[in-house]
Amino acid sequence: MRNYLFATVSLATLLSVGAAQADSVKVGVLATLEGTYTVLGEDGVRGLKTALGQIGNKAGGKDLEIIIQSTDASPDSAVRGARKLVEQDKVDIVIGPLSGSEGIAIRDYSKTQPQVTFLNGISGAQETTYVTPSENFFRFNMDGAQWSAGLGEYVAKEKGYKTVATIGEDYSFIYTQVFGFALGFCANGGEITERLWVPLGTKDFGSIIASLPDDVDAIYLGLGGGDAVNFLNQYQQAGGDAKLIGGSIMVDGTVLNSKGDAKNALIGTPSSGPQADTWDDPKWQAYVKAYQDAFPPDQRFPSPSLLGTGYYNATNAMAQCLDSVNGDLSDGQKAFRACLSSLELDAPNGKITLDKNRQAIGTNFVTEVVELGDGTLTNKLVKIVPNVNQTLGISEEAFAKIGLPSRDVPECKTSYE
């Protein structure tokens, strides 16, 4: 019996290896499946699998062989993962990474591997495509600053906030988010009084909370994952009652679906990002349904997070271009890359095209957290901002003068032109 089983298993293995060699495209995936961004990475993978399910795991007449590699949001773990995928597994295409600083590291790594095409997962640091972009690195999601488009104007004009203090994790993606927020907020007469930065993975915010200024109209929170949950929990315990403004991953499904009461501090918080859960667009609704059908309710969020959507879009972009070149990846994947560069991706969260740096131009959404009848939280659509490019509508020269996002860039000014 055992021998028989063994033979069957070996045969099956041989067969699958044979099939893989004959006609398949190897796709490596980088996602944060460890550390403080674990839940975010898991939903990224769900987005990927939703897209793969819709195309039956095939594109351009070839089977897609998927290899998922875990990272922990640190640049070196991303590079280690990418090296394993590229140099050991010999993948043709890499989808990923998820987190901001990982993206910068993978852009640099992609330059050393010109034979492989990299499609960004959902990492959103501005530098990744703005500074020394890489020929074979494509980003079908907007960066953190683009995700902030419209938010600064909304809180300054509609909410009437005049002074804001920001608190954020000390790395590239949050710099980019605060950058985008500050540009809109300051241009509409707002003032940022203080910017506090905490290390990624901070668990005890007690002292940070005490040092938050109490004479501002609102506090901007640029935290994500476990850090966001810990902050909200301790903020409530400390009796904090300031008005809040959320960064894109602060009010994402990953935080809104955490267990416990901490998240309730977010009800009514304005935010912005590349999607709004309640958008009634038929394409968006169809995508949400596909996501819901692909996984049983206890193994997914009520609706996809922006991370899931990012991986979903990247996978679809890859599949569409593989189709249009009939799976032909010869000649250094030339035809495939040309297709990606000129693709107009009809994504569920609005049409996406790429600029000359292979960076997405797309639609942004201003949202507000609301409580649904069953006690779950979701992001209600407030405003749609179409055609957001990387320079946020500012001319290229003026944008370059502002400088790269960092702890204290940009300066708070009423005009950047």
Partner 1 sequence: MTAFIDRHPVWSFVIFILVAVLIWMVFAIWPDWLTGLIGRKKIFLNAIFNGVTLGGLYFLVASGFTLIFGLMRNVNLAHGSLYLLGGYIGYIVANYTGYWLIAFPVAFIVVGAFGILLQVFVFRKMEGEDLRQTLVTIGISIVMADLMLWIWGGDFYNINPPSWLSGPIDTFFVTGIKRSTGEFIFMTYPIVRVVILAASIVIGVAMWLLLNRTQIGMLIRAGVDDRDMLSATGARIQLVFVGVFAFGAGLAGMAGVVGGTFQSIAPGEDIRFLLASLVVVIVGGMGSITGAALGAVIIGLAEQIGSVYFPTYAVVLTFLIMVVVLAFRPQGLMGRAG
Strand partners, 93: 27, 117
Could you say whether residue 367 binds partner 1 (CB under 8 A)? no
Is residue 378 a contact partner of residue 256, using CB atoms and an 8 Å limit?
yes
How far apart, in whole angstroms, are the C-alpha atoms of residue 311 and residue 51?
8
Among 26, 36, 137, 266, binds partner 1 (CB under 8 A): 36
In the complex, the smallest distance separating the C-beta of residue 340 from partner 1, rounded to whole angstroms, is: 31
How far apart, in whole angstroms, are the C-alpha atoms of residue 372 and residue 148?
25
Among 237, 387, 395, 406, binds partner 1 (CB under 8 A): 237
| Pick 172 or 363: Cβ nearer partner 1 | 172
Could you say whether residue 229 binds partner 1 (CB under 8 A)? yes
Positive or negative CA dihedral for 314, 319, 324, 330? positive
Among 176, 257, 320, 378, binds partner 1 (CB under 8 A): 257
Q: What is the DSSP string of 60-100?
A: TTEEEEEEEEEE-SSHHHHHHHHHIIIIIS--SEEE---SH
- The residue range among 35-43, 102-110, 181-189, 373-381 that interacts with partner 1, by the rule CB under 8 A, is 35-43
Count CB neighbours of 284 within 10 A. 22
Strand partners, 250: none
In the complex, the smallest distance separating the C-beta of residue 272 from partner 1, rounded to whole angstroms, is: 23
Among 77, 120, 230, 303, binds partner 1 (CB under 8 A): 230
Could you say whether residue 101 binds partner 1 (CB under 8 A)? no
Could you say whether residue 39 binds partner 1 (CB under 8 A)? yes
Q: What is the DSSP string of 265-280?
A: GGTT-EEEES--TT--
Could you say whether residue 35 binds partner 1 (CB under 8 A)? yes
- The residue range among 27-35, 55-63, 113-121, 313-321 that interacts with partner 1, by the rule CB under 8 A, is 27-35
Backbone angles phi, psi at 353, to 5 degrees: -125, 165
Could you say whether residue 261 binds partner 1 (CB under 8 A)? yes
Could you say whether residue 242 binds partner 1 (CB under 8 A)? no
Give residues 274-293 in contact with partner 1 (rule: CB under 8 A).
none
| Pick 187 or 219: Cβ nearer partner 1 | 219
Can the peptide bond before residue 97 be classed as cis, meaning omega within 30 degrees of 0?
Answer: yes
In the complex, the smallest distance separating the C-beta of residue 303 from partner 1, rounded to whole angstroms, is: 16
Q: Which of 123, 81, 117, 84 is nearest to 103 (CA)?
A: 123
| Pick 236 or 292: Cβ nearer partner 1 | 236
| Pick 97 or 225: Cβ nearer partner 1 | 225
Radius of gyration of the chain (CA): 22
| Pick 55 or 196: Cβ nearer partner 1 | 196
Count of residues in contact with partner 1, rule CB under 8 A: 40
Can the peptide bond before residue 410 be classed as cis, meaning omega within 30 degrees of 0?
Answer: yes
Question: Counting every residue, how long is the chain?
Answer: 417
In the complex, the smallest distance separating the C-beta of residue 206 from partner 1, rounded to whole angstroms, is: 3
Give residues 190-209 in contact with partner 1 (rule: CB under 8 A).
196-199, 201-204, 206-209
| Pick 35 or 184: Cβ nearer partner 1 | 35
| Pick 44 or 348: Cβ nearer partner 1 | 44
- The residue range among 75-83, 95-103, 257-265, 313-321 that interacts with partner 1, by the rule CB under 8 A, is 257-265
How far apart, in whole angstroms, are the C-alpha atoms of residue 184 and residue 247?
14
CA atoms within 13 A on the CB side of 110: 27
Could you say whether residue 125 binds partner 1 (CB under 8 A)? no
Largest CA distance in the chain: 78
| Pick 196 or 370: Cβ nearer partner 1 | 196
In the complex, the smallest distance separating the C-beta of residue 31 from partner 1, rounded to whole angstroms, is: 11
* Residues 112, 116, 121: CA angle, nearest 5 degrees: 100
Contact residues for 243 (Cβ-Cβ < 8 A; gap 6+):
159, 161, 217, 218, 219
Chain positions contacting partner 1, by CB under 8 A: 33-36, 38-39, 41-42, 170, 196-199, 201-204, 206-211, 225-226, 229-230, 233-234, 236-239, 255, 257-262
